[in-house]
Amino acid sequence: MMFRARIALISLAFAAISAHAQKPLSPYTAEYEVLRGGSVEGRATISLAEEGGGVWRLEEHTRGTQGLAALAGVRVDETSRFRATPEGLNCLEHSYRQTGLRKRERQVDCTAEAIVSRDHRGEYRFAAQDGVIDRQAVGLAIALELAAGRRGELDYAVIDRESLETNRYQVAGEETVAVPFGTLRALKVERLRENSSRTTTMWFGTDQNLVPVRVRQNEGGGEGYELRLVSLKRQPG
């Protein structure tokens, strides 16, 4: 299913970080095309904005534009609020809503002593700790570390539906990638998984403030899914 896999993709595909600017985070709006099996089936708009006091909001809105996804009116809306500190990112809230072929909703609250995760299956609570992020903020966390010069293996404590899990990534080096936005230099980052044929690869544009310019996911024997950058607008911080 295109938009089920898109969840994993889009949750990684955002971040406006400038390795050269004074602020480590920079507001932006980016447009992506969403592909399945090499054919465009959707469009995604991602924006990062500062609320003040170290709090940021990341919003993603994806819709089906062609094929069955368009006919069914598939739409996904996702929002992450987090606090940025010198040590990294800390989740505050995360919400997810999908309509169309499937209807899904999820809410995460990280502002209390325990992290509370709610979806159609129930409510889950687990101990809060510093440095925990929701799945939507993973790409941003990676981009921050790339901007700081980190290479090699990167690990993150990420909120799953009913627990915390460790996500591991490997910086694989620099490549040139072609997307609708242009032919770009990018740092390639791969998700490390054990006992799984599923693969996730991201390319962060070195001249685009380390915004992910391409994200590719293969479900393991099934069709592959991609996000490709179409446009990027930076906004005053």
Q: Quick check: 36 pLDDT over 50?
A: yes
Query: What share of the chain in percent tops pLDDT 90?
Result: 62
Domain boundaries, the chain: 2-167+229-234
Mean of pLDDT over the chain: 86
Question: How sure is the predictor about 106, in pLDDT bands with cuts at 50, 70 and 90?
Answer: very high
Nearest Cα neighbor of 191 from 145, 146, 233, 142 is 142
- Give the best-scoring range by mean pLDDT among 5-9, 29-33, 122-126, 233-237: 29-33
Nearest Cα neighbor of 229 from 9, 3, 49 is 9
Q: Quick check: 18 pLDDT over 90?
A: no
Nearest Cα neighbor of 12 from 227, 224, 184 is 227
Q: What is residue 37's predicted lDDT score, i.e. its pLDDT? A: 82
Does the reported pTM lie above 0.75?
yes
pLDDT in tens, 128-142: 888 999 999 999 999
Question: How sure is the predictor about 46, in pLDDT bands with cuts at 50, 70 and 90?
Answer: very high
As a whole number of angstroms, the distance between CA 31 and CA 229 comes to 6
Distance of CA 124 to the CA centre of its chain: 23
Question: How sure is the predictor about 38, in pLDDT bands with cuts at 50, 70 and 90?
Answer: confident
Give the pLDDT mean for 217-235.
Answer: 85
As a whole number of angstroms, the distance between CA 188 and CA 205 comes to 9
